[in-house]
Structure 1
Amino acid sequence: MIDDGFSPESLRERAEEAGSVFTAEELLATNKMVMMALYSLGGERSCASVFRAGRMLAGFFGVETLEDALHTFCELTGADYDLDRNYVAIESCPECLGYVNAEGAVCNFLRGFISRAAEHELGEVVSVAQVACEATGDRRCEFILGERGEVGGFDTEVDEMTAEDIEIVMSADGRDAVEVAAFKIASEGLLRCALSDVARPMFFRAGRLYARAFINAFDPEDPDELIGHVEEISGSSYSLEGDRFIVEKCLECAGMPFKEPICHAVRGALAETLEHWNVPFKDLVEVRCAAEEDEVVGTCVVKARGVIWKAKRVVDAVKRAFH
């Protein structure tokens, strides 16, 4: 990770470029589908990881007061805030935007962000409870410093989502693409840092779940139809050249300040797709990642590896699946 990759200046610069390529709906849908998949897989452990990611962002901001931190956060993400002693309210919350079927408060990233910023100002450990959440129908998200609250969740598993649910996830509510991109880069990028060694398998499994949700929701006849839905929702372009999957304008790594291949959700989604249509393969390896090449938005390449891929029966299966 670049040392200052999540500073306000770096986030703004990367978000501006990503927001010029993708729409707010594309950025939001991919962010929320992946995050909901991670919550579905990890439960309360994922909530704790997202909380830690929010704390990390406050650390990167390096400001002296909670109010300064909130001002910077809202300036980047298009939210509004109200601060009164131990009470914080966020309107137009970027974290719960697009979530469906929330059964409790879901803003774990913001809870972590607020707690770390408050601790920096006060010099002591500060717990934060969320007492209202836009994702559950409240007018705004509200937090109380010095209290502990329950962790929320969702009524619907990701792979049980309907096409209508996915349409709701894409509802950006008139948000600016750059503001949505800023929160996507910060939340997903720092979650990878918080997950550390388990980020790779967790995002891979999230990608599998993401693809399964699309298969169940749209019931596509073949991979081409499925990829058509994914391209429409993500703004990326997928193609197959021999044993390599080409992802142009890859949204997973767009804006991410990492120097290594990180498109594990893309690999997971491709693995689920191949297995669903009975196309055998040994492994999927990302051989080119735009983030590793220091491209804010670029092309990523995933290779289907293993001798078995080259067998005639596999080539025939791929040709039948991807006409």
Structure 2
Amino acid sequence: MLRAAASTGFRAPSLHQLYFSATSSLFLDGAISNSETFTNDSRAAKLLGIPQLNEEKSKSVSAGATANWGKFKLSVDGYFIRIDDRIIYTGSFTGSNAANASAQDKEIYELLQQANATSARFFANAIDTETKGIDVVLTYQDRLGAGKLRGDLSATFSKTNVVGDVHASDLLKGKESTYFDRSSRIYLESAIPRTKINLSMNYSLDKWNVYLRNVYFGEVDAATNTVADSQTFSGKVVTDLSFGYAFNKNISLTIGANNLFDIYPDETKIGGNRGAGYFVYSRTGQQFGTGGRFAFARLSLSL
């Protein structure tokens, strides 16, 4: 069977993107700095030519196919999504009170002083993006000996890229790399896995049940503006295993472990990301949790 769809849409700015304003304290190289988030109707936004927020507009197409070969079932879907005027959280702008600073930078500096901050950030319609991906699901089900076996293999391959130039005003010329900085680009394009593969097996025999799952999380990049701190964290496989027994139709017991082999993401570089104030495991390139193995016993009662 074949299927396809096409659509257009929009997303209005959220309330916090429109009206949120606050000062946050950041730790950088052992020092505290205050960063102010200004609204788009603030004087600071006008000085930089950052316009009022508008809706994001999208276009998407998808196509897929399903097939059934007795014990096997397969579905494959591909999709393409284009988002124009995507809202981002800008990088940090700083003013200057140097004698040769522009009037724009001097006024921004004064506004930051009044807010007891050293940098300013905004929400803005700054970029256009395209997302392409393929989802595949293969299922197998059959009897094995006196029991039943079910296997599921699913995979997602996706990639998001910024396309075209950053939407910057004339007042932002020379500041485009701050408006949409390197860290923000990595967050959007490669700070989460672009490949994820899940293989699960479930075998049931009389009152017994065994469940095994292996999940592959693809590599990710650390989102940082410092090139020396750049790091790619390699792909990992996380295994879950559980055994269940049904005493009767109302009471069952399951014993197992998530992340059976105690797998962790790659550690951040000593003297690099750690020296920049990061934890042992990255806060900006996340594949899966850092809690390690989790063993459990679960007693279920159905009434």
Q: What range describes the TM-score normalised by the shorter chain of this pair? A: under 0.3
Report the structure, 1 or 2, having the larger helix content. 1
Determine which structure has greater relative contact order: mean sequence separation of CA pairs < 8 Å that are 6+ residues apart, divided by chain length: 1
TM-score, structure 1 as length reference: 0.25
TM-score, structure 2 as length reference: 0.26
Report the structure, 1 or 2, having the larger strand content. 2
